[in-house]
Amino acid sequence: MFQSEMTINGAQHDAPARFDVRNPANGKVIGSAPNATRTELDLAVAAAGAAFASWSQKSDDELQAVCVAVAAKLAEHAEELAHILTLEQGKPLNGFGSRWEMGGAQAWAAHTAALSLPSRILQDDSAGRVELHRRPLGVVGSITPWNFPVMIAIWHILPALRTGNTVVIKPSPSTPLATLRMVQILNDVLPPGVLNVVTGDDGTINLGKLMSEHPKISKIVFTGSTPTGRRVMQSSAETMKRLTLELGGNDAAIVLPDADPRLIAEGLFWGAFMNNGQTCAAIKRLYVHEAIHDAVCDALVAYAKTVTVGDGMDEGSALGPVQNRMQFDKLSALIEDAKDRGCVLLGGVPGEGLFYPPTIIAGLKNGDALVNEEQFGPALPIISYKNVDEAIAAANDSPNGLGGSIWTANIEQGRKLAARLECGSVWINKHGAIQPNVPFGGHKQSGFGVEFGEEGLAEYTELQAVFS
């Protein structure tokens, strides 16, 4: 049983009460986490505020060296953290599961450590000198979701620390354990107070809301659903916090008539079902040209039948259960509605506990709930189209704009169509392939601001011009 505590000012800290954490594969309690109150949050914010005074004054080389040490610590504890992650999140150890997530976390940490934002001299002449600097913001509040708890935490923490900010992170109540342990481990190489963690069950006290309102937090970096992102904006308005909001997606993939169904089936499957569909930038609507619609459906179903669903701790599982009851119920309701409107090609019937088999439903259209809403689970609606203009218009007919993809034998044609998609990332013949050197973020109601690369790093700083 994991009885993890919070790390505040470099020390382990409990709360007056605790809440249970369950393994979604079998419903068993695997441990508990502190149910923090405003008191513990204030302590964490005060510790981060105090640590900021010296951390923000460190040289660029010093900050970089500590971030390199953070990446090394992650590598040292990767297997331990992967096991906690699988037990609390449900994703398999293998495939695109916990070990893959730990690999991503290390890659992002190492890449972010190596980035820098040098000052610039805008003018240096007889009239004077003007330097442009990037200054850290102060205490950054990080709020993370349950789908990639460790990797998303690293996406928030590393650029914040690298640019001289200090951090208070709050994981999702569904997956607090890996984050608690990771922050404890990373504190081995960080000065006290630079990285703190608080956890809560989102019951009578909502720590995320308190963080968004907190007068001593300068920025919130939030990854989660669009409705909660709106609440973060509302709560943070009074203090005019800087915000990065990575929100929900309802990504469309468009298969052109020249694509080879057998060649693209595997990529389409993992583009949609990676992490059991619980991925922000996953294919959540598949538009297929009528000429190859049936062949794509057949190839996709044939590939899906080769994928093993099971307990994530079983080394042979490629997909695990849905992470939590609320998400399972939402997914089930969307599938039930879609069953009445379309044709179930695979799955469609819930399994034991929180298991839901990969479900593929054809014959749907824009306006159907499974097409319009983010299912965030293992269900893929397929929509047949007649011409590409119609497909592009249907893909853009969404308040979300995170990612999109074009599947075609003609890459140039794919690149041209990319310009017509209203979203932050467009992939050709793949979907969801993100990189630590490429800015990632949403258009429209999928959020604002970007993560990754120099552009992502800059979001943790404010510009300051110095005239002399």
Which residues are at the interface with ligand NAD (CB under 6 A)?
143-147, 170, 172-173, 202, 206, 208-209, 212, 223-225, 228, 231-232, 235, 246-249, 280, 374, 376, 402, 442, 446-447
Rounded Cα distance between 167 and 157, Å, is: 7
Rounded Cα distance between 456 and 453, Å, is: 5
DSSP 368: B
**In sequence order, what DSSP letters do the residues of 219-261 get, joined into one string?**
EEEEES-HHHHHHHHHHHTTTT-EEEEE----EEEEE-TTS-H
Query: Cβ of residue 288: shortest distance to ligand NAD, in angstroms?
Result: 23
Angle between helices 98-114 and 149-162 (to 10 degrees): 10
Query: Cβ of residue 98: shortest distance to ligand NAD, in angstroms?
Result: 16
Query: Cβ of residue 207: shortest distance to ligand NAD, in angstroms?
Result: 7
- With CB atoms as reference, the residue minimizing the distance to ligand NAD is 208
Of 208 and 312, CB closest to ligand NAD: 208
Of 152 and 161, CB closest to ligand NAD: 152
The backbone region for 429, taken as left when phi is positive above 0, alpha when psi lies in -120 to 50, beta otherwise, is left
Query: Cβ of residue 8: shortest distance to ligand NAD, in angstroms?
Result: 18
DSSP 313: T
- Which residue out of 67, 88, 101, 280 is catalytically annotated? 280
Of 216 and 339, CB closest to ligand NAD: 216
Residue 167, helix vs strand vs coil: strand
Given a contact cutoff of 8 angstroms between Cβ atoms, the answer to whether 351 and 342 are in contact is: no
Of 253 and 299, CB closest to ligand NAD: 253
Query: Cβ of residue 325: shortest distance to ligand NAD, in angstroms?
Result: 12
Of 264 and 334, CB closest to ligand NAD: 334
- Which residue out of 88, 246, 374, 459 is catalytically annotated? 246
Q: What angle do CA 53, 56, 57 make, to 5 degrees?
A: 85
Of 7 and 446, CB closest to ligand NAD: 446
Active site residue 246: yes
Query: Cβ of residue 247: shortest distance to ligand NAD, in angstroms?
Result: 5
Of 209 and 339, CB closest to ligand NAD: 209
129 φ/ψ angles, rounded to the nearest 5 degrees: -125, 140
Given a contact cutoff of 8 angstroms between Cβ atoms, the answer to whether 184 and 6 are in contact is: no
Q: Which residues contact 380 (CB under 8 A, 6 or more apart)?
A: 272, 273, 277, 283, 284, 286, 300, 358, 359, 360, 361
362 φ/ψ angles, rounded to the nearest 5 degrees: -100, 175
Angle between helices 177-186 and 149-162 (to 10 degrees): 30
Of 145 and 456, CB closest to ligand NAD: 145
Query: Cβ of residue 175: shortest distance to ligand NAD, in angstroms?
Result: 8
Structure tokens, 349: 């019937």
Rounded Cα distance between 160 and 179, Å, is: 16
Query: Cβ of residue 282: shortest distance to ligand NAD, in angstroms?
Result: 9
DSSP 275: G
Of 327 and 408, CB closest to ligand NAD: 327
DSSP 68: H
Query: Cβ of residue 96: shortest distance to ligand NAD, in angstroms?
Result: 14
Active site residue 280: yes
- Going edge to edge, which strands form the sheet with 343-346? 343-346, 359-362, 379-385, 283-289, 251-255, 403-407, 425-428
Given a contact cutoff of 8 angstroms between Cβ atoms, the answer to whether 71 and 113 are in contact is: yes
Given a contact cutoff of 8 angstroms between Cβ atoms, the answer to whether 273 and 304 are in contact is: yes
Q: What angle do CA 287, 289, 294 make, to 5 degrees?
A: 95
Residue 214, helix vs strand vs coil: coil
Radius of gyration of the chain (CA): 23
Instruction: Tell me the catalytic residues.
Output: 246, 280
